[in-house]
């Protein structure tokens, strides 16, 4: 069994789409499909169900997803600890990123700053916002890349963690064009809108709550599904199960081809920043150089 197979599977679990997952993993789709089949052969059972609506994890796949996330995180943590013991930790750059940004924003963003051969070894840890905050606070990574809204500061102590805005996004309510589950926003007391919600571990869920978009008294929502993963809400919305607030960067392709449509006007959108948070002490020369490059470049752009 290869670690790549688990990382491929996690990418597929996040995107629920073979072509997008293959693109995120920088391999061709046929090669990506072969690696998923190899993982299924090693496990001894099918993990995904393919349909016209995309890819869904079966019960075995859902179980393995949680295990695979823990295994890959533990392995990379063990690798970083081993490098530290060997005195080579300075050669690695460790970045935690929320699931949604790991597959939409991060790949092109990291390539824009410097070729990977100049950065050295880059370890990306993809998890929920709550988990990313924990590992940044514990000093297990150098940086945290996440969506940010001024009304919803991260749980990490901002007096200790420096940050810089590196991009922009917007959370928009979307639904399938043929969704017969309910009316458009804002709904009514008699006909509330079926709502696909984020769980408490999601930073996007926190933003929506504190920004007042999903807790407004004149918005009538019937919560029918909850997940920490924006990609899971994307799939549910695409299948006509209700309305989800998704990052436009994640939903852009579906909106362009018409498999999703906006469920309300601009008053329901939530503009957000994409921020890079920095650990209080950067122990490696690579991390210090990277932070200096990012902050100087973003400062020059703003000027």
Specify the pLDDT at position 255: 93
Q: How would residue 246 be classed by pLDDT, with cut points 50, 70 and 90?
A: very high
Specify the pLDDT at position 221: 87
Answer whether residue 120 shows pLDDT above 70: no
- pLDDT tens-place string over residues 143-199: 999 999 988 766 665 557 889 999 999 999 999 987 644 557 878 888 888 999 998
- Torsion of Cα atoms, 7 then 11 then 12 then 14, to 10°: 130
Q: How would residue 287 be classed by pLDDT, with cut points 50, 70 and 90?
A: confident
pTM of the shown model: 0.70
Q: What is the mean pLDDT of residues 132-149?
A: 88
Helix axes 29-43 and 3-15, enclosed angle (nearest 10): 110
- Torsion of Cα atoms, 32 then 11 then 249 then 269, to 10°: 150
Cβ burial of 202 (10 Å; 0-12, 13-18, 19+) is: buried
Q: How would residue 303 be classed by pLDDT, with cut points 50, 70 and 90?
A: very low
- Which is more confidently placed, 91 or 291? 291
- Domains of the chain by start residue, with CATH: 1-86 (1.10.10.10), 169-272 (3.40.190.10)
In the block, residue with structure tokens 């916002």? 129
Specify the pLDDT at position 115: 55
């Amino acid at each position: 069994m290869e670690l790549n197979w688990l990382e491929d599977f996690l990418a597929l679990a996040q995107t629920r789409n073979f072509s997008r997952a293959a693109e995120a993993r920088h391999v061709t789709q046929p090669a990506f499909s072969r690696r998923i089949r190899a993982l299924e052969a090693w496990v001894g059972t099918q993990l995904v169900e393919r349909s016209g609506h995309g890819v869904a994890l079966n019960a075995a796949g859902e179980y393995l997803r949680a295990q695979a996330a823990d295994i890959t995180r533990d392995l990379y943590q063990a690798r970083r600890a081993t490098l530290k013991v060997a005195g080579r930790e300075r050669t690695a750059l460790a970045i935690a990123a929320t699931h949604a940004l790991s597959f939409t924003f991060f790949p092109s963003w990291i390539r824009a700053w410097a070729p990977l051969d100049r950065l050295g070894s880059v370890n990306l840890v993809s998890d929920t916002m709550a988990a990313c905050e924990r590992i940044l606070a514990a000093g297990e990574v150098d940086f945290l890349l996440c969506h940010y809204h001024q009304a919803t500061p991260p749980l990490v102590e901002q007096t200790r963690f420096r940050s810089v805005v590196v991009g922009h996004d917007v959370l928009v309510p979307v639904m399938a064009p043929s969704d017969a589950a309910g009316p458009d926003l804002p709904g009514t007391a008699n006909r509330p809108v079926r709502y696909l919600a984020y769980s408490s571990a999601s930073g996007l869920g926190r933003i929506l709550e504190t920004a007042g978009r999903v807790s407004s008294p004149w918005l009538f929502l019937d919560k029918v599904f909850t997940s920490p993963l924006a990609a899971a809400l994307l799939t549910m919305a695409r299948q006509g199960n209700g309305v989800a607030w998704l990052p436009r960067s994640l939903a852009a392709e579906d909106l362009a081809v018409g498999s999703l449509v906006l469920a309300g006007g601009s008053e329901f959108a939530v503009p957000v920043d994409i921020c890079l948070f920095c650990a209080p002490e950067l122990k490696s020369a690579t991390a210090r150089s990277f932070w200096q490059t990012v902050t100087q470049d973003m400062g020059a752009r703003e000027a």
